[in-house]
Chain A
Amino acid sequence: MDDHRFCENCGHDLWMRRGGAARAPSGPCPACGTTGSNGVVGANGFGVDEAGEDYCGTCGLRRSDGTEHVEADLGRVAGVSDRGLVHVRNEDAMAVGVLDPPDGPTLVAAVVCDGVSSVDSPELASRAGADAALVRLLHPGGPNMKEAVGEAATAVAALADAGYRNPPSCTLVAAVVDPGTGGDPTITVGWVGDSRVYWLAAPDAAEPARLLTVDHSWAVEMIAAGALDVETAMADRRAHAITRWLGAGGEPEPDVVTFRPAGPGLLLLCSDGLWNYLPGAADLAEAALPRLERGGPAAVARALTTIALDAGGRDNVTVVAVPVGPSDERRY
């Protein structure tokens, strides 16, 4: 069905536009100027060792993999992922994309993954999970959230073969917007772990702002099960411990919700680097919607990232914004 999808000359994908990945820069070490030919530790030119770590073979500085600050703006979806102010690496990853086949609806999808810090190379898990899920969500045969999360889980699990003591793992939250035939978009959201999706709209909108996901975290599950009250659960040392994740030892079973909003709004995907500072949907809407009006989803992603950094930036921050509904009908 996708015979004409790829350019006959260069193999370029003509239907899908993607963003969100960062590539490791090549060339000399920015700190000491060493190039691959005059100072190497490992076989790849810059001392990548068996554990997948990447340091300059001369001065020892970790070489940037380009993920300190990543921005993606595809118009219909935009995101920012930032290392934050405390963490050495950005262990979050995002993947955003638009599939525009000639004879089908234009799908918009976004994925945010947050690496589990206590394992080896969590940034690899996030990257692999986000990419695998996005590709499946933007399949011309139609999005399938369960399959997308399943493929992400497989991709993350495959990293364990590289001989890690604590194999990489991550959370995942994904959303796909199908515009529908009659102008009624369908939104499907799937998640594993404590990254979140919010629906943002004005307080008086037909479809009011709210959190669409339920964290797979110790505290939330304790509260949901009626075992503990909110205060006791949140005060516990384990409150933020995630109970589902992709990767070794995790339960990659996603929760999936589908809904057709009664009005236009903004879909917001984020890692806990944002929602730890601004957990309420109404507050997020208040911060986001004026920016959407003025600068589109890219301005929203940038503004919310800045809010998290200004509040301390203790964790990696990833924010992806997807406007939903025809722009001329949107009332915020």
Chain B
Amino acid sequence: MADGAASGAGAFTVDVDQNSYLPVDATRVDAIVTVTAADGAAGPAPASEVLEVIVVDCSTSMTGSKIRAARQATVAAIAELRDGVSFAVVAGNHVTRQVFPTHGTAVADAGSRAAATRLVERLQAEGGTGIGNWLTHVGGLAREHPGSIKHAILLTDGQNGESPEYFSNALNGALGAFTCDCRGVGTDWRVDELRTIATAMLGTVDIVADPADLAADFRSIMGEAMGKSVADLALRLWTPRGASVRFVKQVAPAVEDLTDRRTEAARQSGDYPLGSWGAESRDYHLAIEVPQGAVGDEMLAGRVSIVRPGSGDTPEQVLGQGLVKAIWTEDTALSTRISRGVAHYTGQAELAEAIQEGLAARKAGDEVTATARLGRAVALAAASGNEGTARLLGRVVEVVDAPSGTVRLRRVVADVDEMTLDTRSTRTVRVRGDG
């Protein structure tokens, strides 16, 4: 039986994939919730409601081919700005300096794009790296554009020089102000550092090992950013009295744990930020602990609403809704049925974990753990058809038998291969056979 509930009138569809039948003593409910912008509801937002900030690392380590590539990439990104979009280009080292315009933001047109391009072409590399400071600066620009889609590209090649406290305060201060796609160029930066930022800022993280590839990457990020139609969406989860939310994770296109991002909303409800949204579809894995029911009881274990916050005179809007259910049964044929989606994404989340733990163990010299975890990753990647990740794993381990996860660590592994695997470990594939 299909458990998906119609979402009614709304710009988003919310499909729920779960086995709602629970054995008598069970209290945990798992569901995969697919949120899709409905056809026709996802045209790009008006340009006047989009803010784009490009932050380029200009520290000393960028000297040479990196700063040249960064200039080209920034110029390429500027060329992608739609007319009417507000924008700014920021050069970051141990201080933060606006390249264009001098203060605030400019509106994109042929003239402003040309002016910005001229200034970007003169960027030089000098000084240290203070990423927290850059984020604080962009946060300030973003707050001048309430209601807009606010997006930043952050490019760096090095490790942050700020104290952990300073950085973490700055990151917390910028939360929710804008979304940020982070790119590490070369191999001298730290994956976990950029991943922390990208996760917190609801963006992506990737490695651009060869500076020559930067321009194409920036162009594609900008293409995505310019297509966003709705800002600041939230996933609102209502749960019954006595229930607790074990986790809320985005599981496609990549794994992002949103559990700790909850803010209390209406009665028995919490909001999880989703950032801005274009013509796209994302999957979320919810795990909810509910009070035990009697055989034959049907309980609404969760009600997922996609909410656009109100601003000014515009009231809050519910754009789509789906129901997660729990039905207690003595029929084991029903309760032992496995939801394909839940099983698949549980595997994809474990895959990401296994890679990150395996690489950490390898770095620490614990070859036994590294071999076991990376072997498990190879098996999971093979079983789920995650060919991209399987290929990256193959550069770090020698695969003896993929299905059983039998591997040998490679003696010599290029930094770029290890970092690429780490960076892309959270990328998931959707359930096989689905469009």
> A: which residues have CB within 8 A of B?
32, 39, 41, 47, 49-51, 53, 55-56, 58-62, 86, 88-89, 117-118, 120, 162-166
Interface contact B300-A55, CB-CB below 8 Å: yes
CB distance from A166 to the nearest CB of B (A): 7
Interface contact B6-A61, CB-CB below 8 Å: no
If A60-B240, A62-B299, A117-B1 touch, whether A51 touches B293 (CB-CB below 8 Å) is no
Q: Which residues of B are found within 8 Å of A62, using beta-carbon distances? A: 297-300
CB distance from B239 to the nearest CB of A (A): 8
If A41-B303, A58-B240, A58-B241 touch, whether A164 touches B6 (CB-CB below 8 Å) is yes
Question: Does B364 touch A at the CB level, under 8 Å?
Answer: no
Q: Which residues of B are found within 8 Å of A120, using beta-carbon distances? A: 5-6
Q: Which residue of A lies closest to B290 (CB)?
A: A60
If A39-B267, A58-B268 touch, whether A53 touches B297 (CB-CB below 8 Å) is no
Interface contact A49-B2, CB-CB below 8 Å: no
Question: Does B365 touch A at the CB level, under 8 Å?
Answer: no
User: How far apart are the CA atoms of A50 and B318 in the complex, in Å?
Assistant: 11
If A39-B267, A41-B238, A117-B1 touch, whether A88 touches B6 (CB-CB below 8 Å) is no
Interface contact B323-A53, CB-CB below 8 Å: yes
Question: Does B7 touch A at the CB level, under 8 Å?
Answer: yes
Q: Which residues of A are found within 8 Å of B276, using beta-carbon distances? A: none
CB distance from B244 to the nearest CB of A (A): 13
Q: Which residue of A lies closest to B21 (CB)?
A: A88
Question: Does B8 touch A at the CB level, under 8 Å?
Answer: yes
Question: Does B329 touch A at the CB level, under 8 Å?
Answer: yes
Q: Which residues of A are found within 8 Å of B243, using beta-carbon distances? A: 60
Q: Which residue of B lies closest to A86 (CB)?
A: B331
Which 6 A/B pairs are nearest by Cβ-Cβ distance?
Answer: A60-B240, A50-B8, A55-B300, A62-B298, A60-B300, A165-B6
User: How far apart are the CA atoms of A118 and B7 in the complex, in Å?
Assistant: 17
CB distance from B162 to the nearest CB of A (A): 45
User: How far apart are the CA atoms of A120 and B331 in the complex, in Å?
Assistant: 22
User: How far apart are the CA atoms of A62 and B327 in the complex, in Å?
Assistant: 10
CB distance from B128 to the nearest CB of A (A): 53
CB distance from B323 to the nearest CB of A (A): 6
Question: Does B223 touch A at the CB level, under 8 Å?
Answer: no
Interface contact A50-B301, CB-CB below 8 Å: no
Question: Does B4 touch A at the CB level, under 8 Å?
Answer: yes
User: How far apart are the CA atoms of A76 and B426 in the complex, in Å?
Assistant: 68
Chain A binding surface SS class? loop
Q: Which residues of A are found within 8 Å of B334, using beta-carbon distances? A: 86
Interface contact B297-A59, CB-CB below 8 Å: no
Q: How many contacts A-B (CB < 8 Å)?
A: 77
Question: Does B425 touch A at the CB level, under 8 Å?
Answer: no
Interface contact B6-A59, CB-CB below 8 Å: no
Interface contact B8-A53, CB-CB below 8 Å: no
Interface contact B240-A88, CB-CB below 8 Å: no
User: How far apart are the CA atoms of A313 and B218 in the complex, in Å?
Assistant: 62
Interface contact A49-B323, CB-CB below 8 Å: yes
Interface contact A118-B1, CB-CB below 8 Å: yes
Interface contact B297-A61, CB-CB below 8 Å: yes
User: How far apart are the CA atoms of A317 and B42 in the complex, in Å?
Assistant: 46
Question: Does B321 touch A at the CB level, under 8 Å?
Answer: yes
Contact with A along B2-14 (1 / 0, CB 8 A): 1011111100000
Q: Which residue of A lies closest to B302 (CB)?
A: A60
If A41-B238, A49-B321, A88-B296 touch, whether A60 touches B301 (CB-CB below 8 Å) is yes
Question: Does B433 touch A at the CB level, under 8 Å?
Answer: no
Contact with A along B308-345 (1 / 0, CB 8 A): 00000000000001010001010100100000000000
Interface contact A50-B303, CB-CB below 8 Å: no
CB distance from B83 to the nearest CB of A (A): 38
Interface contact B299-A163, CB-CB below 8 Å: no
Question: Does B164 touch A at the CB level, under 8 Å?
Answer: no
Of B7, B239, B300, chain A has the most CB atoms within 10 Å of the CB of: B300
Question: Does B435 touch A at the CB level, under 8 Å?
Answer: no
The residue that B242 contacts in the complex, of A51, A59, A88, A166, with Cβ under 8 A, is: A59
Some 14 contacts from A to B, beta carbons below 8 A apart, are A41-B238, A50-B8, A50-B9, A51-B323, A58-B268, A59-B240, A59-B291, A60-B241, A62-B300, A88-B327, A162-B8, A164-B6, A165-B6, A166-B6
Interface contact A163-B6, CB-CB below 8 Å: yes
Q: Which residues of A are found within 8 Å of B240, using beta-carbon distances? A: 56, 58-61
CB distance from A15 to the nearest CB of B (A): 40
The residue that B241 contacts in the complex, of A32, A88, A117, A163, with Cβ under 8 A, is: A32
Q: Which residue of A lies closest to B7 (CB)?
A: A50
Q: Which residues of A are found within 8 Å of B267, using beta-carbon distances? A: 39
CB distance from A324 to the nearest CB of B (A): 37
CB distance from B327 to the nearest CB of A (A): 5
Q: Which residues of B are found within 8 Å of A56, using beta-carbon distances? A: 240, 300
Interface contact B299-A51, CB-CB below 8 Å: no
Interface contact A88-B298, CB-CB below 8 Å: yes
User: How far apart are the CA atoms of A53 and B8 in the complex, in Å?
Assistant: 12
Interface contact B296-A50, CB-CB below 8 Å: no
CB distance from A21 to the nearest CB of B (A): 22
